């Protein structure tokens, strides 16, 4: 049976890893800090995938990001999805060459659909994850691009249809309101949009503990739950969370340690 | 042992070679050169992207002619991974009907069940065939990471193992010196490491 997934998201910015709260970044530590607090080669069996996002504000250096990516992913044998600031085919190629198995794109979906089509043609739908950020205004979800700074005038449901028509392989739906709060996922919006989904859905924004991961993963149309909460899952937080989901008979993959 | 990874411009070669490094293989050549491919002990055919594009690249670089010689005449073991596995079949209907390398009597087409979400992404369990060598020392019904929209089927016995997603399809096969996995062993944690180790040690 196809398993559900637990995904950990790392928010990278200018050589640092960050805790994001409503898309405001707080520096937590550099790659040494990450190594000490998240021994991915040891705890990789408690996550199914790793997403690494370059959320650097202003000018991003894809070369710096690619070299950080390469360092993080050595000796972990799980799918790696990387992105943040991909503007052209060469950017995607660089990330693939430095350890990405998939790429994640956001602003590009809206601004350069022709490049998205080209990426799909070269790398296939299954390699492209569409990241969609939204926040609620009077309970209506509104879509934002450019690190959550620029509102676009398309309804969330219509935007989901639009990105699905671009032939992306998965959708990473992130609530800016819930981001980093630890209050749990935005279950209302997730449930509302689930009927129009044709591709697997990854939900993000709000998970502060394993109970939230459990609540999210129990939603039928949710394929994967993601958390970017660096503080709440430090040390053995991720193994503890997976164990708790296993105790609740969630349909997760099993591996032995290595 | 020297391992060749066929480079035709498509594939997550970085993940595959770092997994091989972890297993202890440091002599890896990533190439599309005939003499180099002839000099290796075993070959991995990776692949991410579309079948049509991949075959076009392979033919442009004459890799199909090289592989016929290496796989069919010299009988070197080859492992196709994901799209690389599909390329070993007779044909695929992704972006129109395209011929594959044809080493395996199998065809590739899109998932038929309209109820399921495409692509098939995530870890799924494999029903391992009896007599499998690829899956030696791996737990029963092991989980492997899949990500694909097209799947392989065959009516022949090619020592195939199956996976189920809305329908049953070929997760792997072991036929003479030609092996393939629809899933990505290099992204499948300990199960994948063991499977690649088996490919390197047994065949």
Residues A219/A201, Cβ–Cβ less than 8 Å: no
Helix axes A237-247, A210-217, angle to 10 degrees: 50
**Which residue ranges form the domains of chain A, and what is each CATH number?**
5-247 (3.20.20.70)
**Residue A107 has what pLDDT?**
98
Asked if A198 and B117 come within 8 Å (Cβ–Cβ), the reply is yes
Distance CA(B146)–CA(B82), nearest Å, equals 8
Residues of B in contact with A224 (CB under 8 A): 122
Residues of B in contact with A257 (CB under 8 A): 190
Listing DSSP states for B129-153 in one string gives PTT-STTTT--SS-EEEEEESEEEE
Q: Which residue in B120, B149, B191 is closest to A2 by CB distance? A: B120
DSSP A2: P
How far apart CA A6 and CA B127 sit, in angstroms, is: 23
Low-confidence stretches of chain B (pLDDT beneath 70)? none
Distance from CA of B73 to the nearest CA of A (A): 32
Residue with tokens 């097209």: B150
Q: Tell the residue number behind the tokens 């063991």, with chain if given.
A: B194
CB contact under 8 A, A124 and B165: no
pLDDT at B171: 98
Residue A257 has pLDDT above 70, yes or no: no
pLDDT recorded at residue A63: 96
- Give the three-state DSSP class for A16: strand
CA dihedral sign, ordered A31, A32, A36, A40? positive
Q: Report d(CA B119, CA A102) in Å as an integer.
A: 13
- Report the pLDDT averaged over residues A210-225: 97
Is A57 an interface residue toward B (CB < 8 Å)? Answer: no
Convert the pLDDT of each residue in B108-152 to its tens digit.
999 999 899 999 999 999 999 999 999 999 999 999 999 999 999
Rounded CA-CA distance A26/B189 in Å is 32
Taking contacts as CB-CB distances below 8 angstroms, the residues of chain B near A77 are: 15, 19, 22, 186-189, 192-193
The first and second tokens of residue A25, run together, are 């970044």
Euclidean distance between CA atoms A196 and A258, whole angstroms: 40
- CA A127 to CA A113: how far, in whole Å? 16
- CA B57, B99, A103, A168 dihedral sign is positive
| pLDDT for the residue A258 | 58
The pLDDT of residue B178: 98
Dist CA B138 CA B171 (whole Å): 15
Structure tokens at B100: 């594959």
Ranges of each domain in chain B: 2-202
Q: Which residue has the tokens 């890896």?
A: B28
Give mean pLDDT, residues A180-198: 96
| Alpha carbons B118 and B110: distance in angstroms, whole number | 9
Tokens of A198: 């044709």
Cα–Cα dist A98/A93, whole Å: 9
Q: What's the DSSP call for residue B128?
A: P
- Looking at every residue in chain A, the average pLDDT score rounds to 95
B181 bridge partner residues: B81, B172
Q: What is the least distance, in Å, from the CA of B74 to any CA of chain A?
A: 31
pLDDT for the residue numbered B69: 97
Other CB atoms within a 10 A radius of the CB of residue A88 amount to 14
Which residues of chain A are within 8 Å of residue B15 when distances are taken between CB atoms?
Answer: 73, 77, 80, 99, 101
**3-class secondary structure, B96:** coil
Please report the sign of the dihedral spanned by the C-alpha atoms of residue B62, residue B67, residue B70, residue B76. positive
What are the structure tokens assigned to B8, written together?
A: 């035709």
Query: Above 90 in pLDDT, residue A256?
Result: no
CATH code for B2-202? 3.40.50.880
How much is the average pLDDT of A109-121?
96
Q: Which of B129, B163, B174, B186 is catalytic?
A: B186
d(CA A92, CA B110): 26
- Using CB atoms and an 8 Å cut-off, which of residues 9-28 of chain A contact chain B? none
**List B82, B94, B120, B163, catalytic entry:** B82
The structure's pTM equals: 0.96
Q: Average the pLDDT over A57-75 and give the result.
A: 92
CA angle A213, A216, A218 (to 5 degrees): 110
- Report H helices in chain A: 31-37, 40-43, 62-73, 89-97, 107-111, 113-123, 156-165, 187-193, 210-217, 237-247
Residue B51 Ramachandran class (φ > 0 left, ψ -120 to 50 alpha, else beta): alpha
Mean of pLDDT values over A136-152? 97
Q: Any idea which residue has 């399809």 for tokens?
A: B169
- Give catalytic residues of A, as residue numbers: 133
Whether residue A242 contacts residue A46, with contact meaning beta carbons closer than 8 Å, is answered with yes
> Complex ipTM, two decimals?
0.94
């Amino acid at each position: 049976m196809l398993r559900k997934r637990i995904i950990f998201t790392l928010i990278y910015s200018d050589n640092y890893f960050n805790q994001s709260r409503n898309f405001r970044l707080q520096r937590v530590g550099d790659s040494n800090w990450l190594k000490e607090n998240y021994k991915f080669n040891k705890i990789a069996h408690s996550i199914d995938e790793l997403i690494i996002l370059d959320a650097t504000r202003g000018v991003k250096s894809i070369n710096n990001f690619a070299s950080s990516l390469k360092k993080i992913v050595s000796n972990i044998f799980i799918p790696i999805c990387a992105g943040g600031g991909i503007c052209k085919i060469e950017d995607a190629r660089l990330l693939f060459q430095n350890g990405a198995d998939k790429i994640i794109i956001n602003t590009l979906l809206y601004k350069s659909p022709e490049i998205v089509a080209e990426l799909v043609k070269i790398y296939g739908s299954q390699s492209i994850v569409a990241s969609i950020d939204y926040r609620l205004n009077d309970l209506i979800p509104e879509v934002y691009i450019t690190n959550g700074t620029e509102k676009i005038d398309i309804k969330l449901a219509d935007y989901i249809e639009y990105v699905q028509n671009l032939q992306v392989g998965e959708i990473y739906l992130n609530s800016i309101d819930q981001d980093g709060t630890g209050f749990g996922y935005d279950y209302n919006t997730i449930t509302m949009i689930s009927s129009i989904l044709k591709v697997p859905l990854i939900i993000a924004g709000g998970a502060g503990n394993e109970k939230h991961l459990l609540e999210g993963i129990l939603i039928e149309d949710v394929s994967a739950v993601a958390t970017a909460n660096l503080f709440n899952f430090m040390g053995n937080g991720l193994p503890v969370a997976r164990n708790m989901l296993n105790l609740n008979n969630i349909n997760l993959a099993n591996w032995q340690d290595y | 042992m020297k391992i060749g990874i066929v480079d035709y411009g498509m594939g997550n070669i970085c993940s595959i070679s770092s997994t091989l490094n972890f297993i202890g293989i440091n002599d890896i050549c990533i190439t599309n050169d005939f003499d180099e491919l002839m000099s290796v002990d075993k070959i991995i055919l990776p692949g991410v992207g579309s079948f049509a594009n991949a075959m076009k690249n392979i033919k442009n670089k004459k890799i199909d002619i090289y592989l016929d010689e290496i796989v069919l005449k010299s009988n070197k073991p080859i492992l196709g991974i994901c799209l690389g596995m599909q390329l070993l079949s007779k044909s695929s209907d992704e972006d129109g009907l395209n011929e594959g390398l044809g080493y395996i009597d199998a065809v590739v087409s899109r998932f038929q069940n309209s109820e399921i979400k495409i692509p098939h992404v995530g870890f799924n369990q494999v029903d391992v065939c009896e007599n499998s060598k690829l899956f030696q020392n791996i737990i029963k019904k092991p989980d492997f990471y899949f990500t694909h929209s097209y799947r392989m089927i065959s009516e022949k016995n090619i020592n195939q193992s199956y996976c189920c997603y809305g329908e049953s399809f070929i997760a792997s096969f072991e036929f003479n010196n030609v092996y393939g996995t629809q899933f990505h062993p290099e992204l499948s944690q300990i199960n994948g490491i063991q499977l690649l180790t088996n490919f390197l040690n047994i065949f």
